[in-house]
Structure 1
């Protein structure tokens, strides 16, 4: 029996090629069958037409509406499994995600949404604004939050439009420059001890030390002990809670850790960073986790969950620790963690060896060289090729420890 997985892609080439390679190298899986991968094209579709795919990994429909509507159709009508629900894409604009996690009691910094600086391009705006927009004191809002603070788009991504604001002058300069972007003002977590970015793929999460001020190739530090075990487990729980709540299974979460407090600041990313030249050392883990979760979902006939069942989460009571423990149980239930782990032990026990052999071999090196050539100018290619080779050799070495 053959199972077909679809990839709905934008501009990426590195991780799709890696995903296709690892799935091919795995070969048929006993009791499940073989797997094929297809890159999906965009074309007219009949709403009653049956799809050929059993699972689709989407990296495009967040901004491209035509494939988004196709995803809604195949999930609702045909039970095709999707790693990120297209029905909650609106929550990927950050604002709804902040609201939900605040209600659940997570330590999201104080956040205020302010109106547009400039009118939106809509003929009705002037009339509505004149009648209903209430004048407000931007300085008073900022002082209520306290300096320093961050101004950032409510639907941000890739650090677009983010400004650190230290005083009144910087506040007004940032607001004037925001134009037609709708902005949050958010309290800064000063003196934090660690910035963590958690990449979650299905029931697995990799928590990485993140350095946002570094160049992209150096932002993820290879550091396995930058968080205490208890704080690290809380960071995993926060990410898993967010993902289970919104039905996101391919997502990243940013948290600031200060002492024993974990502050989520960004956890709605429809297209999390999985580039080879960004993740480097962690890239093999990401591809392996994506393959394992995709195979598990297809093999166990996991079905889309359109109902978010938010009442289960909102009904949880108790202090912060008690609620966090109950949220983890709800999230683990959604991701079928025990069943997933047993499936991997039974059917995918050889994937570690397959991926390690691939990363150490010439096929992966060709992928690396090609990715660097497509990413960096000619004068920098040799330097970055050796830089990433060194990090991936370290990964291979660590797998043997």
Structure 2
């Protein structure tokens, strides 16, 4: 028996693929030795939603939240266990409003990142609030939407300040499209953001703790085909900047499970979306990259509970702003300073050492799992639950081929499947 037992809570919505994968990998990992000389066993439970007394003691050491960004009851439960019980949360519930993107834009602009020109415009339609008419009549200023758009410059995007999954996003090329999109926005609060035309690469980076996977993203493709399996599509300096921005955002807001979208044009990296309370980790969209995501999630969560990593709810924004506001620092110098802060927050060196010493078998465990009938069963069941019957064969072949490619690329050096 393990000397120390840890419990990780999974707060879930409609997802079932990655939770099943994570649960399976935790079981396969079994007992882990820790730097304290003790043996540690970590198990997971799916969190249920029910009344809770504010003084009750939760059983969880850590919670992976995928629900509370829209469901307020579990959000308040997260706040309670963070404030009263020091339960470790991968994403702070106290910076959720920054996940609405507006605050994230503001913070990253102040830090000097190359965020495209952005304007927040008032609601098109009156809010469903009895006080709106009085307030609007007295304080709302009439404005010229066309003049505002000219300040941003065509082409641009109109997108919800609190949106996700590209819902409500429109490309605006001229005044007619501007007014059509604004009229359709209704009671949604919208940003106008300048388009980065002629970009070379759309990069989407998924970060879990101190690990980041940068993937080539094609937003115009259907979801199963958006992540293109391609290596070396960024130069070393471009890749380093994309990773630095991703980890800076996460360290700044205390997010440890988040994705970032950046447009790379020449030597410039323009972050356009970096606040995702529920980043995509579905097997049917990440496909080739899904095993990496599960391995990173396994490593980071086990590291947190075994080492007793303490949650840091305070955000220390002044430390970052001191760098961003310093006119003597170049952009490259600021990025380097931000990277040091992010690496310190995520304990990057300590984490790497821990993984080498105590989790060195994770890659082997994940490889054997992806090669197993259990993984194939998970893939089949997910495809059947996601797509109509007449498309099952096509998508099973599609994702099966991508899985085979991952197996060939990640086979041990002495394995017959190893790709030369």
TM-score, normalised to structure 1's length?
Answer: 0.99
Per-residue displacement from partner, 1:362-389 (whole Å, max 9, x unpaired)? 0000000000000000000011011101
Q: Does 1:4 align with 2:15?
A: no
Q: How does 1:184-199 map to 2 (within 5 A)?
A: 184-199=191-206
Partner of 2:163: 156
Q: C-alpha separation between the residues in 2 aligned to 1:380 and 1:297?
A: 41
Q: C-alpha separation between the residues in 1 aligned to 2:293 and 2:27?
A: 16
Shift of 1:305: 1.0
Equivalences, count: 401
Q: Please list every run of 5 or more consecutive structure 1 residues that lacks an aligned counterpart in the other structure.
A: none
Q: How does 1:99-114 map to 2 (within 5 A)?
A: 99-114=106-121
Q: Does 1:178 align with 2:189?
A: no
Q: Does 1:228 align with 2:241?
A: no
Q: C-alpha separation between the residues in 1 aligned to 2:321 and 2:300?
A: 28
Partner of 1:389: 400
Partner of 2:74: 67
Q: C-alpha separation between the residues in 2 aligned to 1:388 and 1:303?
A: 39
Q: C-alpha separation between the residues in 2 aligned to 1:119 and 1:293?
A: 45
Q: C-alpha separation between the residues in 2 aligned to 1:75 and 1:337?
A: 23
Any idea what SS the aligned residue of 1:29 has?
Answer: strand
Q: Does 1:357 align with 2:360?
A: no
Partner of 1:327: 338
Partner of 1:26: 29
Q: How does 1:300-339 map to 2 (within 5 A)?
A: 300-316=307-323, 317=326, 318-339=329-350
Residue in structure 2 matching 1:274, options 281, 300, 310: 281
Q: How does 1:113-262 map to 2 (within 5 A)?
A: 113-262=120-269
Per-residue displacement from partner, 1:114-164 (whole Å, max 9, x unpaired)? 000001110000100000000000000111111000000000101010000
Q: C-alpha separation between the residues in 2 aligned to 1:223 and 1:398?
A: 12
Shift of 1:393: 0.9
Q: C-alpha separation between the residues in 1 aligned to 2:364 and 2:404?
A: 15
Q: Please list every run of 5 or more consecutive structure 2 residues that lacks an aligned counterpart in the other structure.
A: 412-418
Aligned-pair Cα RMSD in Å = 0.6
Per-residue displacement from partner, 1:18-46 (whole Å, max 9, x unpaired)? 00000100111123411111000001111
Shift of 1:229: 0.8
Q: Which runs of 4+ in 1 moved over 3 A?
A: none
Shift of 1:302: 1.0
